[in-house]
Amino acid sequence: MNKENEILKSLEEDQKKITTLQELNELKVKYLGKKGLITELNAEIKNVAVEEKKAFGQMVNALKEKFLNFYESKKESLEEEILNKKLEQEAIDISLPSKKVKRGSLHPMTRITEEFEDLFVSMGYTVYEGPEIESDENCFQKLNLPKGHPARDAQDTFYLKDEYENYLLRTQTSTAQVRAMEDHTEKGPLRIVCPGKVYRRDEDATHSHQFMQIEGLVIDENISMADLKGTLELFCKKILGEKTKVRFRPSFFPFTEPSVEVDVSCFKCQGKGCALCKGTGWIEVLGAGMVHPHVLEMSGYDSKKYQGFAFGTGIDRFAMFKYGIPDIRTIYGNDIRFIEQFDRKDSE
């Protein structure tokens, strides 16, 4: 029994000294290793009288359990200590200023196109997109421009070759009118806008061989010039500012009758006359008109029951005016320094 007390005493002393995991493991060897104090005591069982064997075994087990309890709880607290130290050392100083993340910005054409779309969607229009490679039929014939029509000259373009010679890069988004009317099998009311790229054989500071237009088409019963005027006035004011004045001039387009061209008061000189408006105070921005009954009929509409108005404008031109871009070619140059400026412009 003295052995038991000895072990208990030495264990009590040893426990106080442990400060690291390594010391703790060494202690385990000292007590429970092959030649450990408790292991050796356990081996004594063979020398114990039979009637005392049970009590002896229980005593050894109690010692073992006492040691293991201490071992487990000490191990846990030492590990926690280590972890806490590590966390302390690795702490992130959140008061340091962060590195600036370089954000991209939307291209001015994307911005203004989305602005157009949002405006028309808010008036109940759907955005309708058509292909850039179009048939001669959709681009011209079904818009009242049969082969050989002189008005085709104003829209010289890129034709495809050989078996595709009846296809071309569309010169105007007005093709969407034909497609939308033909897709609409019920031949009832329609309200669409179609933004997209168009192509012409032009190139200088204000004309690019590729540019963007947005087309609008409204078909319903009892549609008149008043609807067209109201819509386009609202459109110009929303995009270019409430102070913008809008003027309608008679014009000619084969697919509308009557046709108009729409001018807005020059936003640079407020109508006084400057280089931008060539001294006139006005800038032409839109072509429009009442859809020609023959155009309605060619796409299956009953022109006695339905009327429509249509309009088309160059998105690039609006972007140039709105953002003060002097050369259309910079819009397509993909120079990041150019694109980045528009983040600021919109929030001004």
Q: Which positions ≥6 away from 82 have C-beta within 8 Å?
A: 21
In Å, how far are 3, 4, 6, 130 from 53, measured between CA atoms? Answer: 15, 15, 20, 98
Give me the helices (H) in the chain, please.
2-17, 21-32, 37-43, 50-89, 108-122, 136-139, 175-183, 225-240, 293-298, 315-323, 336-347
Q: Do residues 19 and 75 make contact, with C-beta atoms less than 8 angstroms apart?
A: no
**Closest distance of CB 307 from ligand DAH, Å:** 13
Stretch that binds ligand DAH, among 58-66, 287-295, 297-305, 329-337 (CB under 6 A): 287-295
Among residues 42, 138, 172, 208, the one that binds ligand DAH under rule CB under 6 A:
172
Question: Closest CB to ligand DAH among 63 and 217?
Answer: 217
Q: List the 190-199 sheet strands across, edge first.
A: 126-127, 190-199, 210-220, 307-314, 282-291, 256-265, 246-253
**Closest distance of CB 253 from ligand DAH, Å:** 4
Stretch that binds ligand DAH, among 21-29, 118-126, 188-196, 281-289 (CB under 6 A): 281-289
**Closest distance of CB 310 from ligand DAH, Å:** 3
Cα 167 from Cα 136, distance rounded (Å): 6
**Closest distance of CB 216 from ligand DAH, Å:** 7
Question: Closest CB to ligand DAH among 38 and 145?
Answer: 145
Residue 113 in tokens: 């196109």
Euclidean distance between the first and final Cα of the chain, in Å?
92
Question: Closest CB to ligand DAH among 125 and 311?
Answer: 311
Among residues 42, 138, 174, 231, the one that binds ligand DAH under rule CB under 6 A:
174
Q: Are strands 307-314 and 246-253 parallel, antiparallel or unpaired?
A: unpaired
**Closest distance of CB 96 from ligand DAH, Å:** 56
Please report whether residue 195 would count as binding ligand DAH according to CB under 6 A: no
Region 200-259 residues binding ligand DAH, contact defined as CB under 6 A:
215, 253, 256
- Bridge partners, residue 246, by sequence: 264
Please report whether residue 138 would count as binding ligand DAH according to CB under 6 A: no
Q: Are strands 190-199 and 126-127 parallel, antiparallel or unpaired?
A: parallel
**Closest distance of CB 343 from ligand DAH, Å:** 31
Residue 274 in tokens: 């400057």
How many chain residues bind ligand DAH (CB under 6 A)? 11
Please report whether residue 310 would count as binding ligand DAH according to CB under 6 A: yes
Please report whether residue 289 would count as binding ligand DAH according to CB under 6 A: yes
In Å, how far are 90, 91, 99 from 95, measured between CA atoms? Answer: 15, 12, 12
Neighbours of 50 (CB within 10 A): 6
Please report whether residue 285 would count as binding ligand DAH according to CB under 6 A: no
Among residues 312, 319, 321, 325, the one that binds ligand DAH under rule CB under 6 A:
312
Question: Closest CB to ligand DAH among 18 and 288?
Answer: 288
Please report whether residue 130 would count as binding ligand DAH according to CB under 6 A: no
Give me the helices (H) in 243-326, please.
293-298, 315-323
Cα 13 from Cα 3, distance rounded (Å): 15
**Closest distance of CB 278 from ligand DAH, Å:** 19
The closest alpha carbon to 142, from 344, 290, 294, belongs to 294
Cα 257 from Cα 106, distance rounded (Å): 38
User: By the criterion CB under 6 A, which residues form the site for ligand DAH?
Assistant: 172, 174, 215, 253, 256, 287-289, 310-312
